[in-house]
Amino acid sequence: MTIRIGIGGWTYEPWRGSFYPAKWPQKRELDYAATRVTAIEINGTYYSSFKPQSFAGWAKAVPDGFVFTLKASRYCTNRKVLAEAGESVQRFVSQGIVELGDRLGPILWQFKATKRFDPDDMRAFLALLPRSQDGVTLRHAVQVRHESFADPAFVAMAREANVTIVYAESADYPAIADVTGDFVYARLENAQESEPEGYDAAALDRWAVITREWAAGSRPADLPYVTADAPPAVPRDTFVFFINGAKIRAPHGAMALIDRVTPC
């Protein structure tokens, strides 16, 4: 298992001078970010498609062991009938994402907060998610944000499909901490700008403990679970992103958590 901790994207003007050094070339911001965090969630793929050369270029810009996760196209998830998303799903995975090679991490399928749980439709959607593309294994995570998904039936179908339910710490949406896939995907969305690292030291210490427990296969206490069922206690790749909230603090929060989980 591995732990990877990062941020959403790398192009953000307020980071220039606060995270990136003054006068750092904008075309080399990915190079810099990839030496300070260990993963980046690419949000641009939610809004538009990219050419294979873009994915190949990003892969070359980062060191060995670095991983990108990709937010899937909104045309896949922002629809009334998810079962009809097959063509959009295939278009997304076939645009050239495999050019990331071993830098390709999980795909994040994010749903609007207004999307309610429809068991049959969600089951059909999960069945559309391909296990591989051009010989490259694909892993999937779903972020749901409506309270109706806090249902044991949803947890069970995600486990059956080996799809990870994203744990999102948010002030706006309910969270589900049940582990359902062979990796863990967390999004920390409650950063405060008044804190230099987005979270105070006690909160970061707590997240360090939780992150290590997830990676070791444990079931962390004091998180919101839908069921009492625990998955097998086996090590899991764990991804934690500081995203949204006070975005200007995200890189500093990620680096602070990396420091806490990295063995001395």
Q: Which residues contact 99 (CB under 8 A, 6 or more apart)?
A: 52, 53, 55, 56, 59
CA–CA gap between residue 56 and residue 63 (Å, rounded): 13
State residue 1's pLDDT score.
61
pTM above 0.95, yes or no: yes
The dotted CATH code for 3-261 is 3.20.20.410
**In b/e form, how buried is each residue of 49-79, taking b as 16+ CB within 10 angstroms?**
ebeeebbbebbebbeeebbbbbbbbbbbbbb
Compute the Cα dihedral for 146, 148, 154, 155 and give only its sign.
positive
**Sites in the chain below the pLDDT cut of 70:** 1, 264
**In b/e form, how buried is each residue of 211-237, taking b as 16+ CB within 10 angstroms?**
bebbbebbbbeebebbbeeeeeeeebb
- Output the 3-class SS for 134-183: CCEECCEEEECCCHHHCCHHHHHHHHHHCCEECEEECCCCCCCCCCCCCE
